[in-house]
Amino acid sequence: MKNNLQIISSLLNLQAGQIEDVKVHEMFDVSQSRVRTMALLHEKLYQSDDLARVDFAEYITSLVGFLFRSYGSQARGAAPQLDIEDVHLGLDTAIPCGLVINELVSNALKHAFPDRTGGEIRVSLHTDAQGQILLEISDNGNGFPKDVDFRNTESLGLQLVVTLADQLGGEIDLDRSEGTVFRLKFKPLEAVSA
């Protein structure tokens, strides 16, 4: 599976090199990032002693590093801040959760800091006393537009986030009081704190 995903990513990269339209090229880049997100999960799984669960803390660290490198100049000097509990997840939970992280961190890198350099993008993941996973992705940038309902938008990325939150059986909300804070809470059956 990992090799198949890497082949798909390489094909998207080759095709994107032939595209002159900036918008279409950007769509290919976003699709390629989603495929790489899943390939990275499979890579972490194959490196694990337990082929049924992914060390999600290690995965998030790798994913966020990859996203910051990928967006390069668009990151505008933003710094990642990670606060991640040691949690292992099965692939059925890890893939949608990883894609949510990919979409929200990518959005922050693209939109949170257009008028300045610097800032912070934070990813926090913890398990509460009831065994629910609490994922928080935030930035101290310009803030999410007040006139946009993230649950009902034209943005494919935000539509994907809402769909994946539903797939996880979770609740997602948005706090716009200081920057942008997305909070996702869900209870995966296979989650085990290490």
- Give the start-to-end residue ranges of the domains of the chain: 52-193
19 or 101, higher pLDDT: 101
What residue type is assigned to position 4 of the chain?
A: N
179 or 43, higher pLDDT: 179
- Using a CB cutoff of 8 Å and minimum separation of 24, what contacts does 165-174 make? 165/100, 167/96, 168/93, 168/96, 168/97, 174/144, 174/150
Pairing of strands 53-55, 192-193: unpaired
Domain boundaries 52-193, corresponding CATH code: 3.30.565.10
Residue appearing with tokens 């949510």: 100
pTM: 0.81
Mean per-residue pLDDT over the chain, rounded: 82
The predicted model gives 26-47 an average pLDDT of 65
